[in-house]
Amino acid sequence: MDGLKLQKEKRSMDHFAGLDVSVKDTSVCTVDDTGKITREVKVASEPEALLAVLKIPAYHFKRIGLEAGPLSQWLYMLYEAAPAPNGSVVFDPEPTSHS
């Protein structure tokens, strides 16, 4: 009984994703609300592949972070246009410094 309760609690925790985006592919790292890495995957930088990773019902993403760059606006519009089964997500573009 306690094992079942623990499983339900783990499934309901918030998750965070970091995207390292390039034109060809995107690396996605997912962590839970304790900071533990729960998944790392590299997918094509294409709508279907990215949504397949970001729309997994088992993950409740509280925030998705990505570097500000040429694809940031496209990613935001892609995610916002897709049905969100697990709540709203805030994209948090991090400014980069190239000095």
Radius of gyration of the chain (CA): 14
Q: What are the pLDDT digits (tens) for 32-76?
A: 989 999 999 999 988 889 888 888 888 888 888 877 778 877 777
In the chain, % of residues over pLDDT 90: 18
Q: What is the DSSP letter of 84?
A: -
Residue 30 has pLDDT above 60, yes or no: yes
**Predicted pLDDT of residue 41:** 95
pLDDT of residue 57: 81
Going by pLDDT thresholds of 50, 70 and 90, the confidence category of residue 5 is very low
The token duo for 34 is 């304790």
Q: What are the structural domains, with CATH classification, of the chain?
A: 2-94 (3.30.420.40)
Mean pLDDT over each residue of the chain, to the nearest integer? 75
- CB of 65 within 8 A of CB of 89? no
Confidence bin at 11 (pLDDT 50/70/90): low
